[in-house]
Every structure is written in C-alpha cells, then in structure tokens.
Structure 1
Amino acid sequence: MTGRAAKRTWWSLAVAALMGALVLVPAQPAAAQTGAMIQPVDGVVTGVLSNRCGSTDSDHYGVDIAANSGKAIGAAYPGTVTFAGWTSGGGNTVTVSHAAGYVTRYLHMVQAPSVGAGQAVGQGQLLGYVGSTGNSTGPHLHFEIWRNNAVYGISPAYTCGGTVTKGAAINLPFADLPAAGAVAERFAFVNAAGVLHVKDGAYASWQAVNAGGATKAVLGGNWIGWIQGGSFYAKDGVYGGWLTMAGGGQVRDIAISGNRFAFVNTAGVAYVKDGPYAAWQAINAGGATRVELNGDWIGLIQGGDFLAKQGIFGGWLSMAGGGQVRDIAISGERFAFVNAAGILNAKDGAYASWRAVNAGGATRVVLAGNWIGWIQSGDFYAKAGLYADWLALATGGQVRDVAVNGQDWFAFIGSGNYYAKQGPYTSWLTMAGGGQVTDIALAG
C-alpha cells in the first residue's frame, strides 16, 4: 500500500484499540504447516512490511505486489469474509478470517469486491481485481497476514524486486493451519431424456439434479451447471438449490471455473460474472460460439478464431486466427486448440509458441493438470505434457466425447455409455450404461 494508508483505515484503529501496540508474530512457530496459504496474485514485489524497497515506512503492514489492473485476486486460504467494501486508505478492500486466528486483507481493488461480508470462500476463490483505489500511486495488491490481532512476519517469503506466482504456496510456516483440502472428485452425465446425474466419488450413488431437458453439463469448483431449454441453471453442490443464471431460452454454451460463470447467447455475445449473484458483464460484441474458463483465463471461439483474456477487465489476446479454430481448451497457463485440419496445437504460456501434438484428424481437445487429451478418428488419445509420448486410451472408433481432471481421471462416452478410470494404465469402469449417455463432465 502506498503512503500510510494502513494507518488511516478503520482496521488500523481497531487493531490499535485491541492490542495497544504492534507485535510481530515470530516467523518460525512450533508445529507449523509450511505453505498452507497460497499467493493471491501474480506480480513483482515492491514493498515488504516497513521496507518500501527504497524507503522505510513503519506503518506499512503487508506486502505490495505490483500487477496489471484487472488481474484476479484469489483468497490465500479458506475462510469467511468479515469485511468487503471501501476504506479511506485501502480503497476497495476485502478482509477474510481463517482458522487458528489468522486474518488476511486485500486492498486497492479496481472495483467493489466480488464477495460480501459473511460469505464463505475457498482457497483461491475470486475476491476481486487488482486496482489502484484508495491511497495508491499505481495498480497493485497490498496483501496482509495477521494472526491473533498481530501482524504476521511475512518478510522471509518476499524480497524486493522478486516475483510471485498466483496459486503458489507461500513459503512460510503457519502454526495450526492445515493444508487446504483437495477438490472432491465429481462426476456428471446427461442421459437421453435430459436428466442430469451427479455424484461425488467414483463409487457413490448417482443423484438426479433435474427432471429432464438438459443438453449440456459443466462442473467447476463446487458448482454444477447445465443448459436446459436454452437457459443456464446452476447449483452449489449436489444437494444445493438450483439458481436460474440466465433465462430466455437463448443460451448456446456455458462454462464455470471456481466462482466464475460464463455463457454465450444465440447472438454470440459472451457474458461473464464472478459470483452467482453478481451482474453479468458482456465481454464481446457478438459472434462467439464457444466459451472456456479456467483459473483467471477466459477463452472464446469467435469467427473461427481463438481469443483469450486474463480476467474480466483484461485485454483480448489473439491466440490463433485465420478462422480455422474448431475447439479450444485452457488449464492453468496451458492453452490448446484444434484447427480445421484436425491438428491439435498446444503451448505453455500465453506468449509461447504453439506446438503441434498430432498430424491431423482431431475433433476435440481437453486439458487438466499436465494431461492433454483429444479425440481422433473416434479414438481417445492423451499425453502427459507437450513433449511426452501419446497414449491410446480407448480405441475402436466409438468415442463421442472425452473428459480429464487434475487427479488423473479420464472419461469418455462410447456407444452411449459413460466410462472412466483413474490413471492411464488402469481398467475402465462403467459409470453409466444403457446406451443413453449424451454428455459427461469431470471435476477434481
């Protein structure tokens, strides 16, 4: 935070009233879980506690991470939002309370936070976007960690001029704070009657979440989404109540990633929002046929081209032009597309060079973890990274759709049945038979 903003906020006053004087928590407590919290944003460190990387400010209680305006900010650890709003010094600010007396704060967001007070958030869940509101001279995130009403000694994890990567573990010991739990392995399919079935765990029982009419299912975080009658519906978990995300019978494609939702309407206008109750933001003028979400990235097929942007307010990048793009996928910083000749191209990093991973004939691509999967001539192929050898996972020319998740689960529709397995060398499980499966999804 630039200047003495932390001192001028209500938070500083509250802390002063509670503790009387600043006490730094030692950076090496006993029985600590190292790396339990994760970095909230990508960027360059420009201030660490009182060291302003060129000057000293004893009232500076966190780390400054310079980043482009509009970059998404994720929660460092699961918790409950205790404040989301405006402070005079911090601008648009979020405070999250965590287990074991920890509190994190995120300042200077470009607009009102994407979460509200009292809301539970997961690790990495979107809180808002980098900005320069309040007492700030340029776009950056001011990030603070407190424990038991005292500033936590974060300096060992940050150095002036160093870079941090969003989602990477913060290399500090966090006493009594366990590593955040993994996402549940969730499976979903739509049958010929349009009934969407979902279950958590490969051997659990299927639960029907609608009465019929669904044509597509997507999974993201704890959210389940589907298209039904041209409308976009979603529910928070298998047993949550369903919400109408976008009605009117005009929805053509949908996507969910974490707490971000997107859809494309029949005019090809793509809409995105962060949080189920937020307002939709149109991100293009029309012509889109497909939308893809992963992490902070948003991808579109528009006019046969692959466009991508980082965050709702980021600028568009032309990933692949020429009007030849037929399918796209994004996972982390990996991007992939299939062109009209069926050549699958992939790259690691938005500005890296594309690498062809087959000779042609592909019709579909999926990405998850380090895996690249695709359908080619009705068979299911996969490879573990750009330079690995490819594996034939399911042959016979009957594969209609495929899915992969980050826990090495592979799935496909073959002859109307849903098959899945964990690991490329295990046997396939029949998840749903009867020849009635029309769409599948995996999460985890």
Structure 2
Amino acid sequence: MTRETVGRRRWAFLSLLAVLCGLVLVPAQPVGAVAGVMVQPVGGRVTGVLSNRCGSVDADHYGVDVAGNGGAAIGAAYPGTVAAAGYTSGGGYLVTLNHAAGYQTRYLHMVRQPSVVVGQQVGQGQLLGYVGSTGNSTGPHLHFEIRRHGAVYDIGPAYSCGGTVTKGAPINLPFADLAPVNAIPDRFAFVNSAGVLYAKDGAYAPWQAVNAGGASKVVLGGNWIGWLQGGNFYVKDGVYAPWLTLAEGGQVRDVAISGDRFAFVNSAGVVYAKDGAYSSWRAINSGGASRVVLAGNWIGWVERGNFYAKNGIDAQWLTLAGGGQVRDVAVSGDRFAFVNSAGVLYAKDGAYAPWQTVNAGGASKVVLAGNWIGWLQGGNFYVKDGVYAPWLAMAEGGQVRDVALGGEDWFAFVGSGNFFAKQGPYAGWLSMAGGGQVGGIAVTS
C-alpha cells in the first residue's frame, strides 16, 4: 500500500468521523476571521462539494469541483509559495500552494504541466495552469481544496451543487489571520509610434516592454494583456508571463479581452470568441463586423453600422441599435453605449432599457468603466458618473487623441503624444509616458 493510499484512507476515515460526530475538521467560521480574502480560482458550475458529488456520496473527496471550459486559466486563490507542481496518477497535473497562517490550497486536473515551479512566489490571481481533465477525472474541471495546518477546511458554506462561481470573486468564507490583498493591480499599457507595447502594474512602477514592435492596438482584461500585431492576436497572462499566439494568419482586424474570454474580428468581418486561452474558437456571426467588445458575459460588435450583442457565446444575439449609423460601441457590466455617424452618444443600463442621449454630437469614441461614461469629442475628454449625471470636462484644448477608463476611478488620455492618468476625477494628472510617441492606451484595475 502506497503512502498516498494510506494518506487518502486516513483522510477518508477522519472525514467520515467528522460527519458522524456532526463536526468539521477545520471550522469554517473561526473566531475573529476576515471573510472573503481568498478568491475563486476559476469560474464555472459546481459539480461536487466535499463528500457530496451532487448526486452521489464520496467520503474520499476533500474539495470543490468546478466544471468549466477546458483551457480556462486557473488563478491563485491567495499569495503563496509553490509547494508542489507536477503530475500524480489521481490528481493529474496539479499545483499546491502554501500560504500564511498555515493555509494551503490545491489545484488538480490541469490540462498540462503547470505554469509555475516549486519554490516560486505567486500573487493572488496569478496564472497557475489551465483547466483540464488529467488524472482521475471524467471531464474538464478544477478540483480545488483548502486546508489549514494539514486539516481539510470546511468549504461547504461557500458552494452549492449546480450553482455557479465567478473567477476572481471573493470566496465567501472567513479566513483567520489572513489579510486582504488586491487580486489584480492597477495596470497601464500603451503602444508607441514604433508599435512597441509597454505595460506596468502600478502608476509609479517602471514600464516593461512586452514586444519588439509592430503592435497597433493593446487591450487589457483581468490579468491578461493582449495586442494586435501584423494581423495576429497575441496575449500574456501578466506583465512577466510568456506570450501566446491566439490567432494568426495576418487576418485579425480587432481584438478584445474580458476575464478569460477572448474575441477577435477577421478580415471578412467574422467575430470569433472563446473562453480560455487553450479552448477552441467559436464563430459568433457570418461576417461584416468591424469591431468587437467584451464585458462580463457580454459580447458586443459593430456590423455594417449596427450594434449587436450576445449574453454569452451560445446565447441568441440582440440588435441593440440599427440603422447603419453606429460608429463606436462600449459595454461595461449591463451598461451599453454607442456613437452614431453624427457623433451623438447614447447609453443605457440594461439590454432592454431605452437609450438615453448623452451629448449633442461630435463624439468619436466612447469608453465605459464602473459607473463612468467617457467620450472623446473635438479633441476633448468628457465623462459622466452615470447616465443621468452632469458631464465633466476632464481634458480640454483640442489635443486629446485617445481616452481610457479603468476600474472605478482611473481616467487616462493621450494628448500631444503623451500619456496622462489620474485616480479620481478631481485629482491632479500624472505624466505616465512622454516623448510625444504614445498612440493607443489601456487601463484596468
């Protein structure tokens, strides 16, 4: 009998004993604990919670199973050190992290060799690997465990069979002696006149070159950095991660990222989307699109001057604005906005709500983030804190060439080829990148 078998039987016995005694091995509500400091490593549907396999009982099961698309990125639930990264016959490709205060998390059944190595320090949300079905598994899913001081932690109160979880959302459990952290930092990126893409985490951090040149657009989503270069779509899962080619052949015309969802438009105007970097692309339309945007579960696109959207890859599409006059679009949460051929900006909260006019005309670009609506008009940058709020002039003088919003309170623009940003509408502007060479920008937090 192997040590692993002995250990598994021992845990099974202890788990069964705890159930019979009406106890848990480690209580889920320790005194003085702070709730929600760990975050969900993946999103998907819950198919198993401890011994409850959602239809059967398995006392030899110590975590939660989250079924999802094969290839979806797995993020660390909390900062820690990699204690194990490799392959076992039962768990397949897996990662074990050691955290502060005696906590440990485990991530099983990855599609291939983990993206981290033993001894490596990882941050919250950092890429560990990708959802797969290796080892003792019946389909693509993540088996996720939490332990403390070697004992199985009771995750039952945070999960329910058939329910869904969202990657990066707080795990609704109290964790004694763990301090909250920011899962995703304030990230900034820009492309210069030579097509070199720069990115950094934090307003005062040094810039890091992401490519060697040739980029024409940068997009940010979750921990991902994506860019369009030579008609190809490339991404990195963090500033220092290796780059991946998501779509090549020189036919890519526009790109978008939201969480672990990716989308692009090819030269024939076909929109493709997928959930997970290693999953298969799905065609969304039959052609004619010129732009694609992603936000949460929404996919939006401009096709022959009309604004269409789908609430998920397999959902039915909706016509949000027709008439062939749509020139730019944006989506954030359940807020939608577009600019028509006269530069009139419209916005609404909810796919079926009526459109509200935001300006009188002249807009050329719209951006959304949090509750903010921003737009570029006549070389000036304007914002509104909600559809019905008064508008604010953020940057005037007719020199603004690009604008961006990030998170709840970051505002950014390109003026005279320089990159400026500020946190809060009434703060002073920070000079992020000068030299008159800045083209497109992106901000997320």
Which TM-score band applies after superposition, normalised by the shorter structure? 0.7 to 0.9
Cα 1:240–1:52, aligned 2, differ >3 Å: closer, same or farther?
closer
Please give the per-residue CA displacement for 1:344-377, whole angstroms capped at 9, x wherever unaligned: 333444x451442513323211122222211233
Q: Could you report, residue by residue, the CA deviation over 1:223-260 in whole angstroms, capped at 9, with x for unpaired residues?
A: 33322222223334444444433332211011233443
Aligned to 2:439: 438
Structure 2 distance, partners of 1:237, 1:49, is 32
The equivalent of 1:253 in structure 2 is: 254
Specify whether residues 346 and 75 from structure 1 end up closer, same or farther in structure 2 by C-alpha distance, changes over 3 A only.
Answer: farther
Q: 1:289 to 1:12 in 2, by over 3 A?
A: farther
Structure 1 equivalent of residue 391 of structure 2: 390
Structure 1 residue identity aligned to 2:359: A
Q: State the shift of 1:320 in Å.
A: 0.7
Per-residue CA distance 1:147-202 (angstroms, 9 max, x = gap):
56655334555689999877553432123444343423232222223233333333
Q: Which residue of 2 aligns with 1:7?
A: none
Contact 1:251 1:265 in 2 (8 A): yes
Q: Which residue of 2 aligns with 1:342?
A: 343
Cα 1:365–1:85 shift into 2, 3 Å: farther
Mapping for residues 290-305 of structure 1, pairs under 5 Å: 290-305=291-306
Q: What letter matches 2:295 in structure 1? A: N
Query: Cα RMSD between the aligned structures?
Result: 4.5
Q: Does 1:20 align with 2:16?
A: no
Q: Does residue 191 of the first structure (1) align with residue 199 of the second (2)?
A: no
Structure 1 residues 76, 213: closer, same or farther in 2, change over 3 A?
A: closer
Deviation readout 1:117-175 (Å, 9 max, x if unpaired): 5246954989669xxxx999xxx999875556655334555689999877553432123
Q: From the superposition, tell whether residues 19 and 135 of structure 1 become closer, same or farther in structure 2 (CA, over 3 Å).
A: closer
Residue 174 (structure 2) aligns with = 173
Relative to structure 1, the CA distance from residue 191 to residue 119 in structure 2 (aligned partners, 3 Å threshold; closer, same or farther) is: closer
Q: Deviations over 1:272-316 (max 9, x none)?
A: 3444444433333222211222334332222333333344x4313
Q: Matched residues in 2 for 1:382 and 1:226: separation?
A: 26
Seq. identity, %: 58
Q: Which residue of 2 aligns with 1:426?
A: 427
Corresponding position of 1:202: 203
Q: Against the structure 1 CA distance between its residues 344 and 167, is the aligned structure 2 distance closer, same or farther, given a 3 Å change threshold?
A: farther
Do the aligned residues in 2 keep the contact of 1:307 with 1:316 (CA within 8 Å)?
Answer: no
Secondary structure of the equivalent of 2:14?
coil
Distance in 1 between the 2:387 and 2:269 partners?
32
| Correspondence for 1:316 | 316
Tell me which amino acid in the other structure corresponds to 2:338.
Answer: F
Q: Which amino acid aligns with 1:324?
A: Q
8 Å Cα contact 2:43/2:164 also seen in 1: no
Q: Is the 8 A contact 1:123 1:180 kept in 2?
A: no
CA drift at 1:101: 3.8
How far apart in 1 are the matches of 2:85 and 2:180?
22
Amino acid at match of 2:353: S
**Which residue of the partner structure matches residue 114 of structure 2?**
118
Matched position secondary structure for 1:20: helix
Does the aligned pair in 1 maintain the 2:95–2:114 contact within 8 Å? no
- Which residue type is aligned with residue 271 of structure 1? Y
Q: Please state how far the C-alpha of 1:427 moved relative to its aligned partner.
A: 2.1
Corresponding residue SS for 2:9: helix
Q: CA deviation at 1:403?
A: 0.5
Q: 1:48 to 1:281 in 2, by over 3 A?
A: closer
**Does the aligned pair in 2 maintain the 1:292–1:298 contact within 8 Å?**
yes
Consecutive unaligned residues in structure 2, runs of 5 or more = 19-24, 117-121
Counterparts in 2 of 1:369 and 1:266: CA distance versus 1, 3 Å: same
Q: Report the residue type matching 2:367 in the other structure.
A: V
TM-score (norm 2): 0.73
CA contact (8 A) 1:378 1:395 kept: yes
For residue 402 of structure 1, report the CA deviation from its aligned partner: 0.4
Match for 1:316: what amino acid? Answer: Q
Give the secondary-structure state (helix, strand or coil) at the position aligned to 1:21.
helix
- Deviation sequence 1:386-416 (CA, Å, 0-9, x none): 3433211112233221001115221112233
Amino acid at match of 1:118: P
Q: Is the 8 A contact 1:231 1:248 kept in 2?
A: yes
Corresponding residue number in structure 1 for 2:359: 359
- Provide the rounded CA distance (Å) in 1 between the counterparts of 2:112 and 2:354: 40
Structure 2 counterpart of 1:306, which letter?
F
In structure 1, C-alpha distance between the alignment counterparts of 2:107 and 2:8, rounded to whole Å: 13
Q: Which amino acid aligns with 1:422?
A: Q
Tell me whether 1:268 sits opposite 2:269 in the alignment.
yes
- Map 1:102-251 onto structure 2 (within 5 A): 102-103=104-105, 116=112, 118-119=114-115, 123=125, 147=148, 151-157=152-158, 168-251=169-252
Letter in 1 for 2:191: V
Alignment of 1:406 with 2:415, yes or no, is no
- Cα separation, 2, equivalents of 1:64 and 1:242: 29
- The aligned residue for residue 77 of structure 2 is 77
Distance of 2:287 and 2:414 partners within structure 1? 31
What residue is the counterpart of 2:371 in the other structure? Answer: 370
Answer yes or no: is the 8 Å Cα contact 1:105–1:145 preserved in 2: no
2:394/2:425 contact within 8 Å kept = yes
The whole-number CA distance in structure 1 between the counterparts of 2:282 and 2:191 is 29
Whole-angstrom CA distance in 2 between matches of 1:37 and 1:316: 34
Other-structure match for 1:4: none
Cα distance, 1:38 vs structure 2: 4.1
SS at match of 1:418: strand
User: d(CA) in 2 for partners of 1:47 and 1:230?
Assistant: 42
